[in-house]
Amino acid sequence: MDTTRILDGKALAKTVQSRLRSQIEAALPQRNRPPGLAVIRVGDDPASAVYVRNKERACERVGIASFGQHFPATATAAEISAKIQELNDDERVDGILLQLPLPAHLDAVALLLQLDPDKDADGLHPINLGRLTRGEAGLRSCTPAGVMEVLKAYNIDPSGKNAVVVGRSILVGKPMALMLLEANATVTVAHSRTQNLADVVAAADIIVAAVGRPEMITADMVKPGAVVIDVGINRVGDGAGGYKLVGDVAFEEVFEKAAWITPVPGGIGPMTVAMLLKNTVEAYLR
């Protein structure tokens, strides 16, 4: 396999982290404290536990202080609310992340609204999404920001290109479309209800798959020389009683046609964490 066409998010994330570490070291003498990131986790979702552990390790590597808080699944909205307020007021904390999904009895939207927008490390507060829509500076949604960082690092300029984003979630699809528009791409947002989805995707110079369906984007949907960014991460059985991680793109077959492609794992996942750290450091430096 010709690995020169793989967009290596894992390696790029290390580069970003090393850049952040230098910025923190340079700022420490004036600030007298490191940047701080607080991750609030509620319940015992195993995937969330792994994500949070990875985020805390990444913080350690770059010199960000962690202020993690783990609540039981029975925690009330009032308890989480009080913790958010406390972190909003804590001068040691520059970034706050509410780890989703939350237990069913909690309203994620209502809780996210309580975050100080300037400490919203995930870039999901309506004010930050509004800033993105208006093209103003602000904390950016981590996964799509990670995609843009990958394109930039590999000198893939979206300007004038046809970009198709498959998926319309507020986490990825919508902010992704806005960021590509900001980079002067012509953007189509496709989703599960799109008619002739295969034809829509086949017209794309840049495909961003963020739909949460294992290997949904197949080779017949990709034109030769397209750039394929796979944001999906799905657990599927490996036939031996275990599981493997696959993306939303059928990697092996699409690889043959794409000019560039991200792997799963090791593509956009590590970049999402790197952008979370970047948002925290940006808030700290401001």
- Render pLDDT for 127-157 as a digit per residue (tens, 0 to 9): 999 999 999 999 999 999 999 999 999 999 9
Residue range 142-269, CATH number: 3.40.50.720
Is the pLDDT assigned to residue 34 strictly greater than 90? yes
pLDDT in tens, 10-22: 999 999 999 999 9
Phi, psi of 50 (to 5 degrees): -65, -45
Domain 32-116 has CATH 3.90.380.10: no
- Per the rule left: phi > 0, alpha: psi between -120 and 50, beta: everything else, 63 is left
What is d(CA 269, CA 280) in angstroms, rounded to the nearest whole number? Answer: 18
Given the residues 94, 122, 230, 248, select the one marked as catalytic.
Answer: 122
CATH 3.40.50.720 maps onto the chain at: 142-269
Is the pLDDT assigned to residue 1 strictly greater than 80? no
261 is in an annotated binding site: no
Catalytic status, residue 223: no
168 is in an annotated binding site: yes
Average pLDDT over the chain, rounded to an integer: 96
68 is in an annotated binding site: no
Catalytic status, residue 55: yes
| Pair 280, 39: CB distance under 8 Å | no
48 is in an annotated binding site: no
The pLDDT score that the predictor gives to residue 2 is 73
Average pLDDT for 168-181: 96
Confidence of residue 192 (pLDDT cuts 50, 70, 90): confident
Strand residues in 61-100 grouped as ranges (E): 65-66, 69-71, 95-98
Given the residues 17, 83, 99, 230, select the one marked as catalytic.
Answer: 99
| Pair 265, 245: CB distance under 8 Å | yes
CATH 3.40.50.10860 maps onto the chain at: 32-116
Catalytic status, residue 278: no
| Pair 34, 283: CB distance under 8 Å | no
Task: Please report, rounded to a whole number, the percentage of residues in the chain having pLDDT higher than 90.
Answer: 92
